[in-house]
Amino acid sequence: MRRGVERTIWLATIAIMIIGLTAIYSASSQSTRVTQGVFFDQLLCALIGLGVMLFLSRFDYRKFYDFSYFLYGASIVFLILVLLVGRQILGAQRWIELGGLNFQPSELAKFAIILSLSRYFSVNIPSRINRGRDFKETIFYTIVIPFFLVVVPSLLIFKQPDLGTAILVFAIFIAIIFINGVKISYILSFLGTVAALAPFLWHLLKPYQRARLSVFLNPNADPLGAGYTIIQSKIAVGSGMLFGRGWLSGTQNQLNFLPERHTDFIFSVIGEEWGLLGALLLVFCFYVLVDCGLLIAQQTKDRFGFSVAAGIVSLFAIQVIINIGMVLGLFPVVGLTLPLVSYGRSSFLMFVVMIGILLNLNRKQAQL
């Protein structure tokens, strides 16, 4: 059974990579802003990523327990450095140049947060505190301390500015405290407090972030500005209909109407050229990966491994949902990539690292 899960993960991952590569090739074939070098760059990342997955599938995941806090600290240092000496692209300072390559520390931070929260909860704090202990003590150990592990990198990421990843990090925090047994009433109380403070956070947003949130309800309010990308995205997806216009034949894509189509809006290219059936095939592959990850988490016997697996699956599922929802106009545009599909070295390689850990979890449980 576990060999079947491992094989399924490999097949789903390779299928997603192939779909992404075909879309990136198409998105860059006629682009006036993006060279076709991004396709070969992504192809190299895919080949390296498969090797990384194979290596990590044989690497003992429990070693990550020992340096989880070190990795967390390193991610904080990188997030501070990116604000001081990072490279600015399109008004956002999110990249550090290392050896001629751009590295995005926020991608490392997402993984480090999963590891550090999993290590924290591996001492079984939720079940020990929730049993009749003082309410304040319970909140302190199960929500306040873990929240402070998350709030520092979240604020540094928000400062870049990167609202999407900051929201995603917060969502990871909620997912991990939930799967580790924190009472739903405590989580709802915490979320209610955050919601009450939300109006005060509006003034901390950059003007373009406010514009994106404003046009979410009515993109036509600024059709040539903040609403342009989402309008073109919905046109592209809708024009694909059931079977799509065909590879390299999407008008919104090939005629350069759709911005950022090789990164955040890659799903629009797939919807336009491969239609509803092609889009559903990709969604199905994502579903298969998530389902296998949940099965591995369910069958993992130690709490650290369980929490890591569940955290990885939560991150993967949430980011896929937000990206596709953003492309379809169901969510505001917050600038998140589609895992293993969008162009981006840091995001791509961190996701293959996490899938490699899932493979290792599956292998280790089979040996018990």
Specify whether the CB–CB gap between 252 and 267 falls below 8 A.
Answer: no
For residue 190 the two structure tokens come to 């915490």
Say what the pTM is: 0.91
Specify whether the CB–CB gap between 115 and 359 falls below 8 A.
Answer: no
Beta strands across the sheet bearing 101-103: 87-89, 92-98, 101-103
Query: What is the per-residue pLDDT for 91?
Result: 64
Tokens 């050896």 correspond to 99
- CA 256 to centroid of chain Cα atoms: 26
CA gap 26, 271 in Å, rounded: 12
CA gap 225, 244 in Å, rounded: 28
User: 300-317, pLDDT tens digit by residue?
Assistant: 888 899 999 999 999 999
Question: Is the link from the previous residue into 161 a cis peptide, with omega within 30 of 0?
Answer: yes
Query: What is the per-residue pLDDT for 248?
Result: 83
Q: Which residues pair with 93 in a beta bridge?
A: 88
DSSP string, 13-74: HHHHHHHHHHHHHHHHHS-SSS-THHHHHHHHHHHHHHHHHHHHTTS-TTHHHHTHHHHHHH
- What are the residue ranges in the chain where pLDDT is below 50? 132
Residues 215-246, buried b or exposed e (16+ Cβ, 10 A)?
A: bbeebeeeeeebbbbbbbbbebbebbeeebbe
164: Cα within 13 Å, side-chain hemisphere: 22
CA gap 16, 159 in Å, rounded: 32
Dihedral (Cα; 159, 163, 166, 172), 10-degree rounding = 180
Q: Where are the domains of the chain?
A: 2-367
Beta-carbon neighbour count of residue 100 at 10 Å? Answer: 5
Query: What is the per-residue pLDDT for 93?
Result: 76
Nearest CA-CA partner of 213 in 327, 319, 323, 334: 334
CA gap 287, 113 in Å, rounded: 24
Query: What is the per-residue pLDDT for 335?
Result: 79
18: Cα within 13 Å, side-chain hemisphere: 9
